Structure 1
Amino acid sequence: MSGLTTRVAEWAATGRWETVNGHRIFVRRTGGNGPLVVLLHGYPSSSYDWRGILPALESTGASILAFDFLGFGLSDKPTDVIYSLKTQADIVETLIAGQPALLIAHDLGDSVATELMARDIDRSLTFILNGVMMTNSSVVIGKANLTAAQKLLRGRWGPLLARLISPKVIRKQLAGVFSAEHPLTKDEGDDQWSLLAHNGGDKIIDKLSYFNRERVELADRWEGAIRNWPGRLSVGWGGQDHISGEPVLNAIISLNPRADVTRWPELGHFPQIEDPTAVGRLAVTFTKTKPPGSSSDS
């Protein structure tokens, strides 16, 4: 596919496109016959972010589903839809197709996870949700420190700013959320831009920012899900995240003191890219932990 780096093109060749509600969604299904683990990526990236932890997860025998949300990565990027996270949650439910599942999420994916948790509370969820693992995000929007660009993109000037998006701008924004110990590499910047720009995604980046409005409008529902969902919540957090750092983590802990918390003090906003070994280790522990009430040999 033209415009993609060689590395991203090789990644694309390992997956396929599945049609969901009339749109092509890039999907990668790997692993064994163990519990289904679903990876929910962040903004403005894609399932490619998870590539470094896949070998560790696959070693557990889990069945792994990674995919690109509508509008992101290698999935379709229509210009005439509202990119609601409720729509993205619908896609998750369709792809899971009623199987019991574990969710591992990052950034935007954390809010999709909270919508699914809220549906579980409402008893409208179409699958058994056995656990959720969250990583860095502005899931509690009132405690996040959004960049000026993030604030502009979700407002009236968003369409104008989207026209000014360039590889240089995206690399600068991404570099600003990586830690000093694990800086953004040139290859990673090239890969991320090629995925964003694929099929004109850079031109709709303001539309893709709609979720930050929803995080305000639906705060009671989504933060209430963190507080009231009775299932197993695991949290892994990079301490060098200047957007969604310690204040957001503390808010999650306040909402759900039962959560299992792992801190990575030296990592930034993309811990799964910066140190896939550390994140993979937590993901394996999370995957292998039996849900409450399950038998030891289930």
Structure 2
Amino acid sequence: MDKHKSGTRDRVASGCEVIALEEWQQGGKWFTYEGHAIFSRMAGQGEPLLLIHGFPTASWDWNRLWPMLLQNNHLLALDMLGFGFSDKPRKHAYSIEDQSDLMQGLLEGLGLKSIHLLAHDYGCSVAQELLAREQEGVLPFEIASVCFLNGALFPEVHNPLMIQKLLRSPLGGLLGRGLTRRSFERSFLKLFGSKNRPSPQDTDDFWHLLTYNNGRGILHQLIHFMEERRCHRHRWVSALQNAKQPMRLISGAADPVSGAATARRYQELIPEPDVVQLMNVGHYPHFESSWEVFAAYREFRKRKAGH
């Protein structure tokens, strides 16, 4: 597979180590899921922690948080089918259920008995589905804890961007295939707060991941997850309300899509809600303010472990 020609040397942003995209790719491995190649990264020692990325990006979203989490966790991350460096088949019924099957198969294949989940955006819906399955007794492993970052946990307060609405329309296929670097950047940057916006190089990397393997051609298929959230709302919200394991929501409050309104709804509906709100941080808190996210996540894990 071709490699993106950004530098391989780690960069530094806001005092945090940054792993360049080409290095991220070179440090990964591929495995096969239903005949499709899936990109993954695994490293570190400690309790297993699965990082689940969002739409329309990929596991590289975690690159700034990765070196911090690596200190005390066995990290697992992958590009879900249709995302990043993984295969993007045109004729595939993309769904949260299918992505959850992918995650479940990976964890079963590794023989893990317990897993912590850290999920963002689209990945939050995958985590909710896995929680529902655990409560139904169909998972061969237990979920030890769950931490959410800016996901549409409650579809009634989700506020999608105009481009997301258009991708769901009958013209979605044409819009996706015709998406330009400039129009992507114009919409994508609306998601970020004022604290640490992506540099031009960062935006180039996000664009590369989106367009890799003709990714624009399937955006209108992936976007169906918004409808899935409405269809499965009862199942996925009930999974949060019935969860027995520790949970925390770390929310970038400046996110226009699933920020402050989602945090308020979480506090209304979830028993004993644990919410950390980050001011001036948008939809990608782990990218925009990785140190704050790491500190909040570390405190969550330590406190819940009784340390």
TM-score for the superposition, normalised by structure 1: 0.93
Deviation at 1:165, TM superposition (A): 0.9
SS of equivalent residue, structure 1 residue 225: helix
Q: For 1:119, give the aligned amino acid.
A: R
SS of equivalent residue, structure 1 residue 176: helix
- What corresponds to 2:217 in structure 1? 203
Structure 2 residue 179 is the aligned partner of structure 1 residue 165 = yes
- What corresponds to 1:55 in structure 2? 67
SS of equivalent residue, structure 2 residue 80: coil
- 1-side partners of 2:5 and 2:291: how far apart? 24
CA separation of 1:199 and 1:217: change in aligned 2, threshold 3 A: same
SS of equivalent residue, structure 2 residue 77: strand
Q: Which structure would you say has the larger RCO, counting Cα contacts within 8 Å and 6 or more residues apart?
A: 1
The one of 108, 112, 115 aligned to 1:101: 115
Kept in 2: contact 1:36–1:65 (CA 8 A):
yes
Map 1:194-233 → 2, pairs under 5 A: 194-233=208-247
Unaligned runs of 5+ in 2: 7-19
Kept in 2: contact 1:57–1:283 (CA 8 A):
no
Structure 2 residue 161 is the aligned partner of structure 1 residue 150 = no
SS of equivalent residue, structure 1 residue 231: coil
- 2-side partners of 1:157 and 1:25: how far apart? 29
The one of 91, 95, 115 aligned to 2:102: 91
- 2-side partners of 1:63 and 1:163: how far apart? 38
- 1-side partners of 2:168 and 2:266: how far apart? 23
- 1-side partners of 2:98 and 2:50: how far apart? 17
Kept in 2: contact 1:11–1:48 (CA 8 A):
yes
Runs of 4 or more above 6 Å deviation: none
Deviation at 1:290, TM superposition (A): 4.8
Kept in 2: contact 1:141–1:215 (CA 8 A):
yes
SS of equivalent residue, structure 1 residue 63: strand
Q: How many residues align?
A: 291
Residue deviations 1:200-238 (CA, integer Å, cap 9, x gap): 111211111111110011111111111122221111000
Which stretch shifts more, 263-272 or 283-292?
283-292
Kept in 1: contact 2:59–2:84 (CA 8 A):
yes
Residue deviations 1:189-208 (CA, integer Å, cap 9, x gap): 00000011110111211111
SS of equivalent residue, structure 2 residue 214: helix
Structure 2 residue 53 is the aligned partner of structure 1 residue 41 = yes
Identity %: 34
TM-score for the superposition, normalised by structure 2: 0.91
Q: For 1:49, give the aligned amino acid.
A: D
Q: For 2:4, give the aligned amino acid.
A: L
- 1-side partners of 2:58 and 2:219: how far apart? 13
Unaligned runs of 5+ in 1: none
- 2-side partners of 1:163 and 1:211: how far apart? 19
Map 1:1-298 → 2, pairs under 5 A: 1-2=1-2, 4-6=4-6, 7-32=20-45, 34-60=46-72, 62-97=73-108, 98-99=111-112, 100-290=114-304
Deviation at 1:13, TM superposition (A): 0.3
Kept in 2: contact 1:56–1:284 (CA 8 A):
no
